[in-house]
Amino acid sequence: MVKLRDYQEEIVQKGAEILDKNWLLFLCLETRLGKTIVALTIAKKMGFKNVVFFTKRKVISSIKNDLKKLDFDVDIIKVKVQSVDSAHKEKAEFDLVIVDESHTLGAFPKPSLRAKNIKKIVKSNSLICLSATPTPESYSQIYHQLWVSENSPFAHYKNFYRWADDYVNKKERMINGYRVTDYSHCYVDSLKPVIEPIMLSYTQKQAGFIHSDVKEKIVTVEINPRLHQVLKQLKNSRIIETKDWAIVCDTPAKLKSKMHQLCSGTVKDEDGNIHFLDYSKAAFIKSKFHGKTVIFYKYIGEYEILKAVFPEHYTDPQEFNEAPSGVFISQFQSGREGIRLDTADHLIYYNIDFSFLSYEQAKNRIMDIEREKMPVLYWLFSDTGLEREIYKVVKKKRNFTSYYFKKFIA
């Protein structure tokens, strides 16, 4: 049976008090603090009988392992672990609903289908939301995460639009020639006192992590000179045409995407075929990095390059952690949440994703309380300078997450 650490016991005690008072608890814990075990222990402590734990499909086995460690008496408390994307199939009644990575419910201004399905299950029952990144892109993402509960502090608002009347500085902007309302700019000072009573935040530093952050290094890789020529031509004429394939960038967004792909050596043509033009980044990794290495990529073609250079790589995190050496390769979105890679010596971003969520959660895969050496995140940027510009934009979004740990520390 697992024994909770002192900081986990503290979180359980405070969390139970918040949930008992509000029937709603938002556990905003930095990664690697054991949020699953904490949430389930709160459920046991408060005497819930029928619990459902919604999570990502690939994390279900890990949650079930945690349940075994907690040694729950199934005659006293029943816990069902289910994919959040299968919530629409659920017909049973529960007295506690736990939603892992609840930021995935945060779409706005209209609620996502996922949020609607969860709302039908939660109703007026108790709810625990779990996320290390509650609002990765905008504070407005908090609304629908709480909206799924009838006990939301915003329950008196008919919908997001009426909530936005009080909490959002609405702005207009042009998208593809159309004028639209931008609801992403919240009045944070007004938001804080309303959600603070249900929020419980805890940092790795508070928990005693020797290294509670990752050191970052930008590494510039010289790519094939012909790619510079291709990028220049594409930027100027918006078209690349060869004997066998073509790329036509008829919108700024498509131009940005194709140039981004090319910086890491691949590109998808108008027929959907992927072309491999440069292996410089993968070759650089193989020649410069030794020991256990984690590589996150963005585009499908990049995996094909990495697979060719590292044919003996791992895609299963558990197999990688148990191995004495090797390379683990994953796409950002599929590997950024719910897995552990804390045995790695190096973390490499082969390309950069536009999402702060990908950046923040992927880097935390290698964190662990017992880690004595500070891990290093290496950004592999081409010598075009394009990835650096994206990096500046992504880093600015950090405040949407760090705010909670600065403002809501108990």
pLDDT digits (tens, 9 = 90+) for 347-380: 898 998 877 766 666 566 555 444 556 678 899 9
pLDDT beneath 70: ranges in the chain: 210-213, 334-339, 357-374, 397-410
Closest CA to 387 of 294, 250, 215, 262: 262
Omega cis (within 30) before 109: yes
Show which of 202, 234, 263 is a domain's final residue: 202
Residue 222 is given by DSSP the state P
Taking a C-beta distance cutoff of 8 angstroms, is the pair 38, 128 a contact? Answer: no
Asked if the structure places residue 405 within a domain, the reply is no
User: Do 151 and 274 fall within a single domain?
Assistant: no
Please check whether residues 183 and 273 belong to one and the same domain.
no
Alpha-carbon gap, residue 37 to 63, rounded angstroms? 9
Q: Which of 202, 236, 267 is the last residue of a domain?
A: 202
Do 318 and 343 belong to one domain?
A: yes
252 with 390, same domain? yes
The CA–CA distances, whole Å, from 307 to 286, 295, 298, 330, 340 equal 12, 11, 14, 11, 21
Residues facing 26 on adjacent strands: 129, 199
Query: Is residue 269 domain-shared with residue 166, that is, in the same domain?
Result: no
SS3 92: coil
**CATH number of the domain enclosing 375:** 3.40.50.300
Residue 410 lies in a domain: no
- Whole-prediction pTM value? 0.69
| 107 within some domain | yes
How far apart (Å, rounded) are the C-alpha atoms in residues 129 and 234?
45
* 208 within a domain of the structure (yes/no): no
Question: What pLDDT score was predicted for residue 408?
Answer: 38
- The CATH number that applies at residue 103 is 3.40.50.10810
- β-bridge mates for residue 314, sequence order: 328
Write the CA distances from 244 to 263, 271, 273, integer angstroms. Answer: 21, 11, 11
The pLDDT, as a whole number, for residue 174 is: 80
Are residues 184 and 228 both part of a single domain?
Answer: no
- What is the C-alpha separation between 369 and 183, in angstroms, rounded? 38
The residue range of the domain holding 319 is 215-397
> Cβ distance 293 to 346 under 8 Å?
yes
User: CB neighbours of 284 closer than 8 A, spacing ≥ 6?
Assistant: 219, 221, 380
Q: Which pLDDT score is estimated for 160?
A: 98
- pLDDT for 33: 85
Q: Label the pairing between strands 376-382 and 346-349.
A: parallel
Nearest alpha-carbon partner for 146 in 56, 20, 26? 26
In this structure, is residue 1 part of a structural domain?
no
Burial class (CB in 10 A: 0-12, 13-18, 19+), 139: buried
How many domains in the chain? Answer: 2
Question: Is 318 within a domain?
Answer: yes
173 and 241, same domain (yes or no): no
Whether 179 and 311 map to the same domain: the answer is no
Same domain for 188 and 229?
Answer: no
Say how far apart CA 295 and CA 327 lie, in whole Å. 7
